[in-house]
Amino acid sequence: MLFQLIIGGTASGILYSLIAMGFSLLWQTSQTINFAQGDFVAASAFIMLISYSMFHFPYLLSLILTLIVAAFILGFIFKKLIVQRILEKGLMSIICATIAMSLLIQNSIIFYSPESQNFPSLIREGTISIFNANLSFLDIFNIFFAIIIIVILQLFLQKTKIGKALKAVAQNRETANILGIDVPKMIMLAFIINAVLSVFAAILVSPIYAAKYNMGSALGLRAFYAAIIGGFNQMRGALLGGLLIGYIEVLTTGYITAEYSEAVILLIVIAVILLKPEGIWGTKEIWSKEL
């Protein structure tokens, strides 16, 4: 049973990591806490559905279209119209604006359909049996695909010039500015990367969970927990956090209690906050800006 749970935890955990990494990127570069992060995933899923199911475009074309539309709306427009204007006003305004955005996205999707929708899967259904555990092809595929995306992202950040510039902005905006990096451009890049990550998370998550207007709420919350536990200000923190949340979730339910499993996660989150606020793999934050 343990092996089964670990695999299950990894499969869901790595998806939380994807979402948490985008979340963390936004925070690091622009101190934006995006309460609508999960809803970005939902929005991406439905953009995909509109082009695939409604217009009947082939999968690859739909994916490319979704990436473009998401990058534009969830990345560009989000940053320019909303975040940019209220960034100076402080964290609270951003939190409130993203809460309102979450409402907006959910209610727009309800307008399209309040029911769950089937989502196309890249992999056929089926399971294989290893060590007495049933592993579905979908889970295995998701794990590999997510790892590939994470690796690509890390390579981008470490090896390419733009990536390194982005990383610099993420670590310290003032220094990056002094070094001559175009900070606003990098921040915009961060938002676009976040949108892209949301799309990939959407195509991996939706085949399992079905696409529904409120799928984002639970996912976004998990990503938030993940970022906090793992470390808000390091990408590796988000990765670790997501996996940890996945494991805690399945192990608590499997061995202890199903009813209070959410509460256990929360207690651990709270404990981490009180004992090591920067997260397990995070670094201490220097507060240059008040609320």
Partner 1 sequence: MGDKNKKYFGVLVGIIKGGYKMFKVFKLLFLTLLILTILIGGSLLGFANENEPVKVVACFPQTGSCATWGVLAVEGVRLAVEQINAAGGLLGRTLELVVLDNQGKAAVSVAAMKKAVGLKPYVVFGTNMSGSTIINMEILEKAGIPQFSGSTSPNITQQGNKNIFMACLNAENLANKSKDWIVDVVAARKLAVIYVSDEYGKAMRDNLISSLSGTETQVIEELATDVGQTDYTGELVRIDNSGADTIYIIQRCDEIARILKQAGKLGLTEKARIIGTETLIGPDTCRLAGECAEGAAAISDLTYKDPSMWPMAVAYKMRFGEFPAHDPIKQYLSVMIVASATEAIGSFDQQGIKDFLHNRTLCAKDYRWLPVDVHYDENGILDRESYELMVKNGDQVVNSVLSPVHPENFEGCSE
Partner 2 sequence: MTPVESKNRKELVNFSTLLIFSFFVILWIIPYFLNLYTVYVFTWLLIYIIAAYGLNLILGYAGQISLAQAAFMGIGAYVVAILTKLDYSFWIAFPLAGLLSFLVGIILGFPSLKVKHHYLAMVTIGFNFIIYKILMNEEQITGGPYGIMNIPRPTLGFISFESDLSFAHLVLIISLLMVFLMYYLLNTKWGRAFKMIRENEVRAEVVGVDLRSYKLVAFAIGSAYAGIAGGLLPPLFGYIEPTLFEFVISFDFLLMVLIGGRGRFVGPILGVSIVILLPEILRITEQLNLLIFSIIAIIVIVLVPEGASSLVDIAYKLFTGKKFPSLTK
Cα–Cα distance measured from residue 112 to residue 63, given in angstroms and rounded to the nearest whole number: 19
Which of 232, 238, 246, 250 lies at the binding interface for partner 2 (CB under 8 A)? 232
Choose the one of partner 2, partner 1, none that binds residue 61, judging by a C-beta under 5 to 8 angstroms depending on kind.
none
Choose the one of partner 1, partner 2, none that binds residue 54, judging by a C-beta under 5 to 8 angstroms depending on kind.
none
Q: State the Rg of the chain over Cα.
A: 19
Query: Which residues, 6 or more positions from 141, have their beta carbon under 8 angstroms from its beta carbon?
Result: 122, 123
Q: And the tokens for 18?
A: 């994807």
Helices and strands in the chain: count of H runs, count of E runs: 12, 2
Which of 171/214 has CB closer to partner 1?
Answer: 214
The separation between CA 43 and the C-alpha centre of its own chain, rounded to angstroms, equals 13
Choose the one of partner 2, partner 1, none that binds residue 209, judging by a C-beta under 5 to 8 angstroms depending on kind.
partner 1
Q: Which residues bind partner 1 (CB under 8 A)?
A: 1, 4-5, 8-9, 11-12, 107, 110, 114-116, 118, 125, 127, 129, 134, 136, 138-139, 205, 208-210, 212-215, 217-219, 246, 249-255, 258-259, 261-262
Q: Are 278 and 241 spatial neighbours (Cβ–Cβ below 8 Å)?
A: no
**Angle, alpha carbons 28-165-277 (nearest 5°):** 20
Q: And the tokens for 291?
A: 């609320």
Which of 64, 85, 112, 174 lies at the binding interface for partner 2 (CB under 8 A)? 85
Residues at the interface with partner 2 (CB under 8 A): 33, 81-82, 85-86, 89, 91-93, 95-97, 99-101, 103-104, 107-108, 110-111, 224-225, 228, 232, 259-260, 262-263, 266-267, 269-270, 273-274, 277, 287, 290-291
